[in-house]
Amino acid sequence: MAANIGIMDSAYFVGRNEILGWINDRLQLNLSRIEEAASGAVQCQMMDMTHPGVVPMHKVNFDGKTEYDFIQNYKVLQDVFNKLKIDKHIEVNRLVKARPLDNLEFLQWLKRYCDSVNGGLMNENYNPVERRTKGGNRSIRGPQKNSKSLQTNNSVNSGSCDEEPVVLRRSTSNTSILLSHFLYNLSSHVNKSPSSGTGAKNMKSGANTSSDFQSLTKEITDLKVSVDLLEKERDFYFAKLRDVEVLCQTPELENLPMAVAIKKILYAADENEDALAEAQEIVSELIIAEQTGLSDDN
């Protein structure tokens, strides 16, 4: 079952755009960023679609704005996992911080799980909007400043620039958030018009705005190029790691000491130095065994 998929599984190579498309299509939402799903409400409803009637949707808060609200949603989700005997620990403390990478990894796992249950087919009898409003007035408002509430396909998308960017932790994500920050500043400059002053002052203000616009546009273009390059580089090395994993899982090779040593490193949690030491020990034992064998032959 998908609950135990490895970190190098193909599930974790699904991109952000595909995940967002999957969520928006299934639940009739209009999310534009992964961190908008940090409240846990989306995950609860995905499980509700996959296992109808199992999730108490009246307990799910789609308008949650605080970490406390998010934690309550994840408690509902963990209860559902326990009820279905899904052996998956939810890293609530990390997910509620709205870090895109943490939430992306969890959503990648969730998509793999849902696809494994229903073959990726959508339940045509499921009405996501009706299920969200079941049990009370749980309308979904568009995102407001410092708010992480969700937005339906029918709502206006003009308020998205009002959110302050979230500080991220990895190079690719940092570049993306800088891009969002420049877009925010660009919008502020473009929409700002002088309310008083002489014609000369207005002309000067307009010239400054035009100069700022060109400067920000250039920086945005440069950042887009940087993001594309970083994502290509990331995908390139992930693909190589995946090839190594597949090779090590070959029946003829998977039990060989060298393959075991490589998998120790591949499957190590975070930056585990012990994994490298264990792998080196396995390789050293292999070398000693070969040298001993050669000496015996002589």
pLDDT per position as a tens digit, 266-277 = 877 666 568 888
**Which is more confidently placed, 68 or 11?**
68
pLDDT per position as a tens digit, 97-151 = 999 989 999 999 999 999 888 777 777 888 999 998 864 334 433 333 344 445 4
What are the residues facing 152 on neighbouring strands? 29
Cβ–Cβ < 8 Å for 62, 38: no
Tell me which H or E stretch contains 247.
Answer: helix 199-248
pLDDT per position as a tens digit, 190-211 = 444 444 455 555 556 666 777 8
Ramachandran angles phi, psi of 177, nearest 5°? -70, -35
3-state DSSP assignment of residue 272: coil
Q: DSSP assignment, residue 85?
A: T
**Which is more confidently placed, 266 or 248?**
248
Confidence of residue 186 (pLDDT cuts 50, 70, 90): low
* Domain residue spans of the chain: 2-162, 171-228, 249-297
The pTM assigned to this predicted structure is 0.48
Torsion over CA: 97, 100, 102, 107 (sign): positive
Q: Which CATH superfamily is domain 2-162 in?
A: Calponin-like domain (1.10.418.10)
Predicted pLDDT at 108: 92
Predicted pLDDT at 141: 38
Place of tokens 């849902």: 114
Ramachandran angles phi, psi of 47, nearest 5°? -70, -35
- Provide the terminal-to-terminal Cα distance of the chain, rounded to the nearest Å: 51
Predicted pLDDT at 103: 94
